[in-house]
Structure 1
């Protein structure tokens, strides 16, 4: 028969090995709803498992990263991006003797609230929502309100905080200047995920853009090329090594000024030469029009939305909130299918057509 000795041995190992800056499982602020501890897993290991097995995590495989619904199997999706963030964040945490389990849980959950069609979809939902929309806040809503038939995953407060504060915004920084920063997460591990997100997306977006033939490696700005490196793996290695060297024995996770400047130059290059290119902008406009038309359809035909819900709409929840939750949970594929079902004419046999009309009139 199992007892708690396995979990306790993990917790003792954390106390003995981890840095004083690490968040130990035994020091967790707990969960919104108290639970009995697991015999074999720490609270953060348990959160890793809950996120990995939830439906929202599986749907990330069909959500856009940068290239909208790509036919090429080798372009990143929101799921592969998440796994690359996990890989980078765990490496940094391990080297700094931080809590890898907490880091992994935050990294796995950080993009659960992303919309179909990436940030272009997020912009549309921000227009539609009566209270505004940001994927980080919606990721928290996913894990606290929407998963498990509306019960939520009941994650630890440290993981929820890290998910909420992982995003730096369009012009924001991935690092903090001091421990007095008001936006600082509860844990150093959350800072690791925030900077790992930057390392992952800036490098895989370059890699995907080269794969797509949009840019060549020789097009990269000289300063970025010279400081970061000339290959995908070298750039990742150099950035991770720099972060570790500049964050050791500190409660602030950061890059050197030289590395941060080169990274900023590469970000600007990607924005100007990749994200805003006309061919990508055309795809963005199409995806946004699709989501707007779906939203307009459901607003005019609310019963269609209610019938499409997996679970009944909560009694005191507004229709607008339900609509935003439904659209945000869609994958690219599902949004395209729903659009085709609603707006694209189909071939019908006469019996099917009359049956459909009869059902709608009842």
Structure 2
């Protein structure tokens, strides 16, 4: 008698696009393990990520605005959820594997530092081996979770997590080595930028960092004047362009791609690198720099040395510790180590 998982795998073979990744054909895990009778491999990966400690910590990590007073600003967790929603919408329309898509989306920022990209920048500066959040995300799922055992995810999910980031680079680069091996992983890469282009713009307007009149008018003309309209334009462009080409690659209309890149340039200039945001990020960098050198001199308060191999450098351990912090935990440690306390009576 076939298991429920096998029935689901059969449905995937019948329903999904020829270009979709199929659960039954996964390239496997780092360590072989017995299959689940109920869930496919990619479903299990998605569930493991949702139940991970690193996933829960995302709710107290900065997206763009540090410790905002309002409740409606995005955090790293709400960003992740928006990426997953956008990616799944596109995956369903393209008949790609939704479970794989969602697993990659939910895990893509697990290694992100406190205080957003300011934290990533300072760790990259201080660690002799550098620091990149997408590599740290893979380190989280491969090693740091479950006391050094990791989550033992499939190779497709791990590849998608590692290849999700693009920085200021092309949204859909011609160099295929920069892209995930699966279309699902590539879809998350695009969903990530669709999400942050729109919600960071929304938060910047809410925070009075920019005004509606500041947004490039040509971007509004092409993408739309409302938040939902802009997302819809980008998503529909990718779906219909990709379906029209039907060649196993993602596509987007040139004028929509131009508007997305123009909007990204605007956000870097007027939001991420603008004085109100930049000044606070510099403070965050100084805070993490002081913590880094404190741990380098005094050792870590939490080392869990039993999970590390002897050759693991102190720099790597410090990066693991700091990258895993929430904003508020980093602030509390800084206060503990560097802010004088009144002497008790």
- Indicate whether the TM-score tops 0.5: yes
Asked whether 1:211 is paired with 2:209, we answer no
Whole-angstrom distance in 1 between the partners of 2:130 and 2:157: 23
Residue by residue over 1:168-216, the C-alpha shift from the partner in whole angstroms, topping out at 9 and shown as x without a partner, is 12x2112133xx6222311010010000001000000110011111222
Structure 1 match to 2:272? 275
Counterpart in the other structure of 1:326: 321
Q: Is the 8 Å Cα contact of residues 92 and 240 (structure 1) preserved in structure 2?
A: yes
- Mapped to 2, the partners of 1:124 and 1:176 lie a distance apart of 27
Q: Give the Cα separation in 2 of the matches to 1:254 and 1:114.
A: 28
> Which structure is larger by alpha-carbon Rg, 1 or 2?
1
Contact 2:209 2:276 (C-alpha < 8 Å) held by counterparts: no
* In 2: Cα distance, 1:254 partner to 1:326 partner: 39
Q: Which runs of 5+ in 1 are unaligned?
A: 351-362
Alignment RMSD (CA, Å) = 1.3
In structure 2, what is the equivalent of residue 149 of structure 1?
Answer: 147
Per-residue deviation, 1:110: 0.4
Q: Provide the aligned length of Structure 1 versus Structure 2.
A: 342
> Do the aligned partners of 2:303 and 2:317 also contact (CA within 8 Å) in 1?
no
Equivalent-residue separation in structure 1 for 2:154 and 2:134 (angstroms)? 16
Distance 1:295 1:210 in 2: 34
Please give the alpha-carbon distance, in whole angstroms, between the structure 2 residues aligned to 1:299 and 1:324.
11
Matches of 1:250 and 1:284, distance apart in 2: 43
Contact 2:219 2:262 in 1 (8 A): yes
Determine the structure 1 residue equivalent to 2:251. 254
Which position in structure 2 is the counterpart of 1:238?
A: 233
The alpha-carbon deviation at position 310 of structure 1 amounts to 5.0
Contact kept, 8 Å, 2:165 with 2:189, in 1: the verdict is yes
Q: Name the structure 1 match of 2:33.
A: 35
- The residue aligned with 1:288 is 285
The 2-side partners of 1:99 and 1:325 are apart by 32
Alpha-carbon distance between aligned partners in 2 of 1:53 and 1:197, rounded to the nearest angstrom: 21
Name the CA distance, whole Å, in 2 between partners of 1:112 and 1:348. Answer: 40
Q: Which residue does 2:303 correspond to in 1? A: 309
Native 8 Å contact 1:4 1:38 kept in 2: no
Unaligned runs of 5+ in 2: none
TM-score (norm 2): 0.96
Matches within 5 A, 1:220-235: 220-235=215-230
Contact 1:176–1:184 (8 Å) recurs in 2 = yes
Matches within 5 A, 1:53-202: 53-169=51-167, 171-177=168-174, 181-202=176-197
TM normalised by structure 1 equals: 0.92
